[in-house]
Each structure stands twice: as C-alpha cells, then as structure tokens.
Chain A
Amino acid sequence: DARVTQTPRHKVTEMGQEVTMRCQPILGHNTVFWYRQTMMQGLELLAYFRNRAPLDDSGMPKDRFSAEMPDATLATLKIQPSEPRDSAVYFCASGLGQGKGQPQHFGDGTRLSIL
C-alpha cells in the first residue's frame, strides 16, 4: 500500500533552534496538509496545498512557521525559532482532488520536543 512518508519520526532540540520536517506525499496525490496534534487541542490544520500552491495557512503562526512544496514529491514545514509550546506531533496528509469525497491519508508523524 502506498503511504505518506514523514521524516524525521522524532526530533528533540533546544528552544531557539530551527526545525525542518519533511513529507513525501503519496505519488499522484495533489493535495497536501500539515496538522499538529496535541492532547489539549487534538488535530489542528496548519496549512494546505493543492498542486503545490498554498491555499490555506490560516492555522499556522506566521511569525515562526513556514510551509513549502519545492516539488510534487516533497513538502516541508519549518519552525524558526522553535519554542517549547511547539512540542507536539506533526502530521502530513495527502489526498486527491478537491472538495467533497476525497479522504486524506496520513503519515506516521514527527514527534517534536522542544526543550
């Protein structure tokens, strides 16, 4: 089965450091989503791309977070500078098409700890 691949699976770093998370969507999928999962907030959408163009990043703190898709096989989420409150599991998901009827397929996440 094709799967979304995320790297790294775990990241521990000190406050103030830059963090880069990578995602390889399922081949052929044209929509990519970044989510953050915490115990308190559950799954929160951070950013959403279709055909590599950012469509919605309203859920993302703009001052420190940035999301890009350099090509169709790679999506990145960067945090600079990182803060302890950024500690969470970050999921990438990909899907086909738009609107109704297209489920999202999730990677296994990057577990981020900021000390």
Chain B
Amino acid sequence: GQQLNQNPQSMFIQEGEDVSMNCTSSSIFNTWLWYKQDPGEGPVLLIALYKAGELTSNGRLTAQFGITRKDSFLNISASIPSDVGIYFCAGRGYGGSQGNLIFGKGTKLSVKP
C-alpha cells in the first residue's frame, strides 16, 4: 500500500531559527496537506497543495508540492515558542478509495526561547 516517510521525527531548535521538514511517498500524490497538532487537540490544517511545483505560504510557513509528485516540504522561518507541536504531512494518491488521506508519523518540534 501507499506509504509516507516524514523526516525528521523530532527537532530541537533555538527561537529565531528556520525549520525544514519533508515527506516522501512511495507513489504519486495529487494532493499534499500539512497539519499542526497541539497537545490535547486535533490536527489543524496549515497549508493545502494541489499542483506539482506549487509553492504556498501561510505567514511564516511555506510548503511546496514536489515536482516528482512524490514529496512535499514545509519550512518555518524565524521560529517562535508557539510553533511547538507536532507537524503532520498528509497526501492523497490516485486510485484506491477516494477521499482517503495517508498521514506521515509527524515531526515533533521543540523551540527553546
């Protein structure tokens, strides 16, 4: 079945630093989504990507849909303490049960003030 590999699993950074994380899939996707989950809450959608090569920003967050359609990247610039949380990528491939998202295992981000 389709698999998503999300890296890194965790990051410990200093406030003000930039952050990069990525997801790669074993097959081609037509949609990539990035979510953030705070403790005790559900994942919240940050950015949605629908076309290969698409680059979309949401404040200090920027995500890209890889040209190969098998990967996506999320960058956070000038991190702040409230960026702490778990970031999930999710993708939807062609075929199979429509509507299903496949989720990565998450990148846990810790920011030191």
Chain A residues in the interface with B (C-beta under 8 A) = 4, 31, 33, 42-43, 45, 48, 50, 55-56, 58, 91, 93, 95, 98-109
Within the complex, what minimum Cβ distance (angstroms) separates B69 from chain A? 12
Q: Rank and list the top 6 A-B pairs by shortest CB-CB distance, nearest first.
A: A106-B42, A43-B103, A56-B97, A42-B105, A99-B98, A100-B30
Interface of chain B, helix or strand or loop or mixed? loop
A43 to B105, CA, bound (A): 7
By a CB distance below 8 angstroms, the chain A residues around B101 are 33, 45, 104
A sample of 15 inter-chain contacts (CB < 8 A) reads A33-B101, A42-B103, A42-B106, A43-B88, A45-B100, A45-B101, A48-B100, A55-B98, A55-B99, A58-B97, A99-B92, A103-B45, A106-B43, A107-B42, A108-B40
Given A4-B42, A109-B42, are A102 and B105 neighbors across the interface (CB < 8 Å)?
no
List residues of B (66-113) whose CB comes within 8 Å of A's CBs: 88, 92, 97-101, 103-106
A4 to B44, CA, bound (A): 11
A58 to B97, CA, bound (A): 10
Contact B99 A99 (CB under 8 A): yes
Q: Cβ of B23 < 8 Å from any Cβ of A? A: no
